[in-house]
Structure 1
Amino acid sequence: MSKPTITAFDWVPDFARGQVRDLRVRWALEEVGQPYDVLYLPQGCQKQEPHRARQPFGQVPTYEEGDLILFESGAIVLHIAEQHGRLLPGEQAARARAIEWMFAALNSVEPPISDYAFATLFEAGQPWSKPRLPAVEQRIHERFGEVSQRLGDKEWLEDDRFTAGDLMMVSVLRILEDDGFLERYPNLAAYVARGTARPAFQRALADQLAGFTGNPPPGFEEWLKQQQQQGEAA
């Protein structure tokens, strides 16, 4: 098996450190014990060739292993889980349920979290952001409540065994770990704490943070300042 290479940014603003989606791929690789290389991209290069040939939407991460090139963190994590025979149960029904939770994390839980990021950060200065924020927060709490109810008092989502479904769900839930949303759901807060306490996660996080050695693109600081000022005035 060849050593894979993933792509990541060499710089992101402070609020994004520890959240860029290459962390999910790093975590999976650490869980299965697979060494990997990282190709670091300066901000802006992701929208240019040759990265567009790897990732048509100009995003990170990507995953290269021999002739195989993958994009989308969920697809990459699933490939790693299947390739190494870990992070997915061997029994067919349990395996299907673990994959089901991967899709749930990305398709049901993460979208309102992304909406929240746009409303409070990326488009905070736009006139539509503040009025729509209560509805966005309501959708987040609805999804968190549903996951909380299904998790109950279990350690992990399925069969009390950590799977790729838990890896993706914890990765998504922890996006709002510092925003107060998890406080209403003690079992989810404990679930996220269990996931992020895993040695593989800690190694992945440390590696991602250590890779931020680049510089911000020209004009970023001014853009961020304008967004903050407009958001405060809205």
Structure 2
Amino acid sequence: MTAFEWVPAFAHGLVRDLRVRWALEEIDEPYDTELFNARNPRPEEYLARQPFDQVPAFREGDIDIFETGAILLYLGEQDERLLPKDGQPRWTALSWLFAALNSIEPFLVPITIYDLFHQDKAWMPEAREAALTICRKRLSRLTDALDGKDWLAGQFSIADITMITVLNNLRHTEIVAEYPALVAYKARGEERPAYKRALEAQIADYAQEAA
């Protein structure tokens, strides 16, 4: 799996290789990382593996995959601890995997971008407020869908790995705190030993470059 050897401190735990690391830790699957410098373009040949010059790209044997949703689906197909094999639980998990990537994340990331990179722009407050209105609607719908469940598909799955890491995009704000069910949901995920190991491994890779 490819990852970065360094990112700014505010991005620790946000780079998307964390999702893949977490899934691999959940199924006790060892992995190696190929590290790139985030401040420099990746080698030209890397575009054959990841056309958008991002991380992670994943390789197992003669299989190459990019995009975290696709990688998580690949891993889920191999182990029921990540994805139910049959019936409605499987399709519920897959629906929420795609919902996290398509119906939640695109409405959270703009707030992060405005806050971290455009604070000094005159247009930012109005744009952020518009984005926040949509964001809150999406988080309200997510809260309603959880409806007292521990996990989105009943059992823990790749849907939860994706959704919890998506919610991390707002960790610099108090927005998620407006939804106690989401706070508890996120905490359940981050208390899992596999999540802790994945985060420690990601931070350890950054520490190597700093040393």
Specify the code of the residue in structure 1 equivalent to 2:132.
E
Specify the code of the residue in structure 1 equivalent to 2:142.
V
Give the match for residue 78 of structure 2. 83
Give the match for residue 155 of structure 1. 150
Identity of aligned residues (%): 43
Question: Are 1:136 and 2:128 matched, yes or no?
Answer: no
Task: State the secondary structure of the residue aligned to 1:58.
Answer: coil
Give the match for residue 162 of structure 2. 168
Specify the code of the residue in structure 1 equivalent to 2:199.
L
Give the match for residue 8 of structure 1. 3
- Say if 1:154 and 1:122 are closer, same or farther in 2 by CA, change over 3 A: same
Give the match for residue 180 of structure 2. 186
| Aligned Cα root-mean-square deviation (Å) | 1.5
TM-score, scaled relative to structure 2 = 0.93
**Alignment counterpart, residue 36 of structure 1, candidates 27, 31, 38:** 31
2:49 and 2:153 map into 1 onto residues whose CA distance is 34
Specify the code of the residue in structure 2 equivalent to 1:139.
I
C-alpha displacement of 1:168: 0.9
2:64 and 2:122 map into 1 onto residues whose CA distance is 40
2:31 and 2:201 map into 1 onto residues whose CA distance is 11
Structure 1 runs (4+) greater than 6 angstroms displaced: none
TM-score, scaled relative to structure 1 = 0.85
Give the match for residue 118 of structure 1. 113
Give the match for residue 57 of structure 1. 52
2:7 and 2:26 map into 1 onto residues whose CA distance is 25
Alignment size in residue pairs: 209
Specify the code of the residue in structure 1 equivalent to 2:19.
R
C-alpha displacement of 1:187: 0.8
Larger Rg: 1
Q: Contact 2:20 / 2:71 at 8 angstroms: preserved in 1?
A: yes
Structure 2 unaligned blocks of 5 or more: none
Question: Are 1:72 and 2:82 matched, yes or no?
Answer: no
C-alpha displacement of 1:157: 1.4
Q: Deviations over 1:170-221 (max 9, x none)?
A: 1111221341011111111000000010000000000000100326xxxxxx
Task: State the secondary structure of the residue aligned to 1:172.
Answer: helix
Question: Are 1:211 and 2:205 matched, yes or no?
Answer: yes
**Alignment counterpart, residue 100 of structure 2, candidates 86, 102, 105:** 105
Task: State the secondary structure of the residue aligned to 1:9.
Answer: strand
1:51 and 1:128 map into 2 onto residues whose CA distance is 37
C-alpha displacement of 1:156: 1.1
1:70 and 1:78 map into 2 onto residues whose CA distance is 10
- Say if 1:80 and 1:47 are closer, same or farther in 2 by CA, change over 3 A: same
Q: Contact 2:77 / 2:85 at 8 angstroms: preserved in 1?
A: no
Structure 1 unaligned blocks of 5 or more: 1-5, 216-234
